[in-house]
Structure 1
Amino acid sequence: MTVTIREVAAEAGTSLSTVSRVFSNPDAVNATTRGRVLKTASRLGYQPNAAARSLRGGRTGSLGLIIPDIANPFFPPVMKAIQGKARRLGYTVLVADSNERPNEEFEAIEALRPRVDGLILWASTLQEEKIIELAARIPIILVNREVAGIPQVQISLSAGVRQAVEHLKAYGHESCAFITCSQPGSNREVSIRRELEEAGIRVVEFGPYEARFETGLHAAPLVLADGATAVIAHNDLVALGLLQQFAALGIRVPEDVSVIGIDDTILAATSSPGLATVRIDPNDIAEAASDLLLGIIGRTAQVSPAEVITVGTRLVPRASSGPVRVNEPAKQLISKEK
């Protein structure tokens, strides 16, 4: 019969959380209590996942990665890059999808925490207090989320967005829509709005919406009604939705409207027309995130609790962006179609 963590806690005279910490973050438990729990677990034959290695050395040999949406084509290359980096350093990677919901993210973290030596949380939706509390129990780093005192990898869109805006400006665009899927005041929103305004391009913002293909389908008529001659989408998925809906409405890209995405997924290169996009390099993120996390775990050089690594971006021009139209506004074209 399988021995449970509750039985180990009762036999050792400790709480469930103490037993959990002994196997997930042994340094957080004093030596006397840790020794008593480990002896009790060994005597009872308690073996959670990876417990054999944990009992011997306090390490599972695995890292956890929590991502917002496994269906987004941006994330598989990121997962592959992180796995490759981890494998070279003797680790495996366990992945879970938070579905961009705090409760599901918390459940995924709790499921992975006893099985891993540390966690990479991508665009975490948890409250700051919960993240800080979690960091006291297990090594964590954040990607694309800022919490004071927690090591993090930040994706700077500044260079890539600036190139995109310069690109539109050179083509004669004077108005641009931004389809946002971030909360007001986010780094992405602020960066895009700032670059457009500094270039003298009128910006109109739609959203926030969910970062999905369907958002582009919904937003396309809004862009046309506004009369903007260019669109920057929150990500490639949203941009691809725009491309499909524009085609369905008889709007030509880029002759009538230019479209630029963010991410540079494989779909951006294979769409028709090819999608111009701001590239975020998965390998750069994998290197930065893995180095930070393993530094905390102790396998490499020690990491400052406030350390931040910034990953840059660049524009990848493709056929979805071009010179501003000099004929009728797109909103008049769509009226004629009707």
Structure 2
Amino acid sequence: MDTVVAIRGVTKRYGPLVAVDGIDLGIRRGEIFGLLGPNGAGKTTLISMIAGLLRPTSGEISVLGHDVVREYRETRRAIGLVPQEINFDPFFNVEETLRMQAGYFGVRLAEERLVEILGALDLLSKRTTNSRALSGGMKRRLLIGKALVHDPAVLFLDEPTAGVDVELRRSLWSYVRRLRERGTTIVLTTHYLEEAEELADRIGVIDRGRLLVVEDKDALLSRHGAKVLRLSLARPIASLPAPLVAVGARLDAGGSVVTFEASTGDAFGPLLAAVADAGLAVGDVETRRTTLEDVFVRLVSRDRGEATA
């Protein structure tokens, strides 16, 4: 896949503070790229530089082959940005807001396109409602609509579903996938790790201004992930039998739970055989796989030298 956004050696300093530290990254055409990191990691600073709202201290950024500093007119037309902060003009209704936003890009918003955006964001019934009368979730949806009116090639979604109810969030997920199918490149930042796991094709984890990893989501989960088996015992035990210790099991919850972690479900066989040989009575069995949230916490904790459970 060809690269739509190219970031080469980009650093952003504020005096002694290094907000973004020498990042190299290529974002591909037609992918959903999940950019994840804790608060203050540098996500919004990086996006702001790509969108032309901040200038890098050093390094280069191009969008569709155009430099974001020297050719900012071309790059800004190619980008749609949904910011973290809710901002709106209180003097216009929903339709007027979208038509005015399209006008900034020299676009006359066709009725069909307007209805498509309003329908996808569940704002059709609020078409003539003044933006002051919208709820917080509706105002966030309106921000997404404003970013879409000029049909950008690259869409940045910075915490797009914060404050949005679960039903609408899933509806927005469906619409984001449709945008990708149409060829739109999407960069998603979110603190809902379930959202990134659901949508992203690739994941980048950033912390303290540095990229810790960039990898296809499935490969990342496979490499760092595991399956966990929890056996709730019918009766607590004082200590694990030696064969269970040998296969890597541990005893939790006051001797009532045996927990085992493996890279594949096939590795559970030796543990289950050892449990049977030990004559332990099992009351309940639970399995789960490592989530993107687990992997994210592990990567950030490792970078900061913290112990993880």
TM-score interval (norm. to shorter): under 0.3
Task: Return the structure number with greater relative CO, CA threshold 8 A, min gap 6.
Answer: 2
Q: Normalized against structure 2, the TM-score is what?
A: 0.27
TM-score between both structures, scaled by the size of structure 1: 0.25
Q: Which has the higher strand share?
A: 2
